[in-house]
Amino acid sequence: MPDTPTILYCRCAYAQVVPAGVKNEVLGKLCESAASFETVSDLCEMAAHRDPRLQAIASCSHLRIAACYPRAVHGLFQQAGSPLPENAEILNMRTQTAAEITDALLKS
């Protein structure tokens, strides 16, 4: 299924700037769904280390990412040498509700 989106969830575990209630609820809803999804401990930490996994993530043609501000997420991937595709959808757990985010992540 080439157009099936890849869902990525960032836990922001290294600094806790994402509200705990929102990130727990988003992960909870993903776990309640039948969907496959990827989770990482902290995209900032991975970018700081230029983790090669960022390149694997950026290579996905249809990405939906639950993390923080889209400008920051794009910048992190670019700075790590793995720019995101332009059509990557980024949901912001610092400003959006968990319901908005999970709806957008899981929509078909």
Partner 1 sequence: MITHTHRPLRVILYEGTGSIALPAESRAKVMMALLDKGYAVTRSGQGASAVPHDDRSLLVLGAFEGKAPTLEDATGQITIDTRDITGLAPDAIVSLVEKTRGDKPMNEPGKWKPWFPVIDYTRCTNCMQCLSFCLFDVYGVSEDNKIQVQNNDNCKTNCPACSRVCPEVAIMFPKYQGSPINGDEVNENEAKREKIKVDISSLLGGDIYSTLKDRSSAFKSRFSKERSSDKALDERKKCLTKLVGDGFIPADVLASLPSTEEILKKAEVAKAKAAAALAAQ
Judge contact between 12 and 23, C-beta under 8 A: yes
> Per rule CB under 8 A, is residue 86 in the interface with partner 1?
no
> Per rule CB under 8 A, is residue 97 in the interface with partner 1?
no
CB 42 → partner 1: shortest distance, Å? 6
Secondary element (H or E) of residue 75: helix 70-79
SS3 2: coil
Secondary element (H or E) of residue 108: none
> Per rule CB under 8 A, is residue 103 in the interface with partner 1?
no
SS3 65: strand
Tokens at 8, concatenated? 């990525």
Residue with tokens 């990557």: 88
Selected from 21, 50, 85, 97, the binder of partner 1 by CB under 8 A is 50
CB 87 → partner 1: shortest distance, Å? 14
- Residues at the contact surface with partner 1, assessed by CB under 8 A: 1, 4-8, 11, 13-15, 17, 24, 27-28, 30-42, 44-45, 47-53, 56-57, 59-60, 62, 68-73, 75-76, 78-79, 94-95
